[in-house]
Amino acid sequence: MKVLVIVDAQNDFMPGGALAVPEGDKIIPVINKIIPEFDLVIATQDWHPEHHISFANNHLGKKAFDTIKFGEIKQTLWPAHCIQNTLGADFHKELNTQNIEAIFRKGTSPKIDSYSGFYDNAHLKSTGLAGYLKEKEAKELYFCGLAADICVSFTVKDALKLGFTSYLIEDASRALQAEEFTAVKKEIEYMGGKIVQSEDV
């Protein structure tokens, strides 16, 4: 079974959003075009409580993009984004959601961040995505979305560790920082993943 995983195609990551990814909205028509090529389409959704630990405004004297540590975990502080039940947490209005069979929400615990669609950043809690895919007997996973260098890449790397054949669709993804994405792509390929374009699916 060929599966498309759309990562966090949400308003707050689009131009004008709270944590905008450059040209984030450009991926929407690309994703809509490839959706019919897949047997199963699922999505992840950043879904933070208002007092989330990763929000800079919840730490006195800190600002967005500062880095702090919680135990052994290094945490980047972000502008407040994708707060539950807000417009910023909604999917982009032009994303074709009618074929999305399931949505997996992440970052729901106020005490830990969750970049990957599979686990929180400490790998203490599963979102249920891995079990769902295994029950569906999914083998080939294709990933796209935002941001390519953060949530998309963490999700792809977890998929590879779980034994799924994994592809990152480069032109259906955008990065917050281009130089980080270059390094991430090399890491994904080193782990056995493949970087492809939408025309290849």
pLDDT over threshold 90, residue 70: no
Residue 117's nearest CA partner among 54, 179, 162 is 162
**Catalytic: which of 106, 144, 149, 185?**
106
Which pLDDT belongs to residue 31? 98
pLDDT band at 194 (very low <50, low <70, confident <90, very high): very high
151 is an active site residue: yes
pLDDT band at 77 (very low <50, low <70, confident <90, very high): very high
pLDDT over threshold 90, residue 72: no
**Catalytic: which of 8, 25, 120, 158?**
8
The CATH fold assigned to 2-52+79-200 is: Rossmann fold (3.40.50)
The predicted model gives 101-118 an average pLDDT of 96
Mean pLDDT of the chain: 96
Domain boundaries, the chain: 2-52+79-200
pLDDT band at 153 (very low <50, low <70, confident <90, very high): very high
What pLDDT digit, counting tens, does each position of 47-65 carry? 999 999 999 999 988 998 9
pLDDT over threshold 90, residue 126: yes
Q: How far apart are CA 22 and CA 69, in angstroms?
A: 27
Q: What is the pTM of this model?
A: 0.97
**Catalytic: which of 25, 82, 120, 151?**
151
106: Cβ contacts below 8 Å, ≥ 6 apart: 44, 45, 46, 47, 114, 115, 116, 117, 120, 127
